[in-house]
Structure 1
């Protein structure tokens, strides 16, 4: 797939944004929806999905990008407060060769601990009760 392919409004994140598919929500406002990655690379792996219909960062307009990045920082701060990781990876993929598997713009917030290996992207599905507990902790740490 090329970077500039047409946006598919039937992708899984578009369906989640429309309420057609469930998610374990952490945060939502007019610009983004943040929810737990059900195939986490690390406990607390959170996705921030802009509501604008764009395949990747290069397709997202500057105002939506700016709004998304402010929310990414806010949610990453809450992840740090709630889970106390040693570090946090914030990443975003553009195109299949770069590792993108869902073609709707999204950002990964991945907590890291020095003594725990990072799981594979899209690896093992998490326990839903654990995801809900993590989401509640992160949501509870959100500040304005």
Structure 2
């Protein structure tokens, strides 16, 4: 895609701090990092999002993200890592070329200002959850 910044990075036509290249994926530092060492892993083939990416490219991106997560946590001294994909504008996707964020986590607010956008300790409504589970079960067959 001619107007996709990630396609330009893959093609080496746009600047990036690339840390990994292989036959199917490219990884580089995010220019708007959430934490030190924040990386993006993209497939070489353009796919808009999670709904469009091929199974093989998705597998390759996830395996590369895991490899980089292992490496970057040691390099920056992180205690954990988040893998994050945002699918669609309403889910905070801003570049419409599938990508996986690899975000090192440190456990102190100085180096790690990220917080969960929901409260995992607050239970959902059981009736609503049952309705969704039923509808999903019907759709998935």
TM-score range, shorter chain: 0.7 to 0.9
* 1:1-144 equivalences in 2 (<5 Å): 8-116=1-109, 117-118=112-113
Q: Normalization by structure 2: what TM-score? A: 0.75
Structure exhibiting the larger radius of gyration computed from Cα positions: 2
Distance across 2 between alignment mates of 1:50 and 1:101: 16
Paired residue total: 113
Runs (4+) of structure 1 moved beyond 2 Å? 116-120
How far the C-alpha of 1:73 sits from its partner, in A, is 0.6
CA deviations 1:6-34 (Å, max 9, x no partner) are xx541111111112101001100011110
Q: Normalization by structure 1: what TM-score? A: 0.74
Distance across 1 between alignment mates of 2:104 and 2:94: 20
Q: Report the 3-state secondary structure (helix = DSSP H, G, I; strand = E; otherwise coil) of the residue aligned with 1:59.
A: coil
What is the alpha-carbon root mean square deviation over aligned residues? 1.5
Q: Report the 3-state secondary structure (helix = DSSP H, G, I; strand = E; otherwise coil) of the residue aligned with 2:60.
A: helix
The answer as to whether partners of 1:47 and 1:106 remain within 8 angstroms in 2 is yes
Distance across 2 between alignment mates of 1:60 and 1:112: 27
5+ long unaligned stretches in structure 1 = 1-7, 121-144
How far the C-alpha of 1:72 sits from its partner, in A, is 0.8
5+ long unaligned stretches in structure 2 = 116-141
CA deviations 1:96-123 (Å, max 9, x no partner) are 0000000000010111111133269xxx
Q: Report the 3-state secondary structure (helix = DSSP H, G, I; strand = E; otherwise coil) of the residue aligned with 1:47.
A: strand
How far the C-alpha of 1:67 sits from its partner, in A, is 1.3
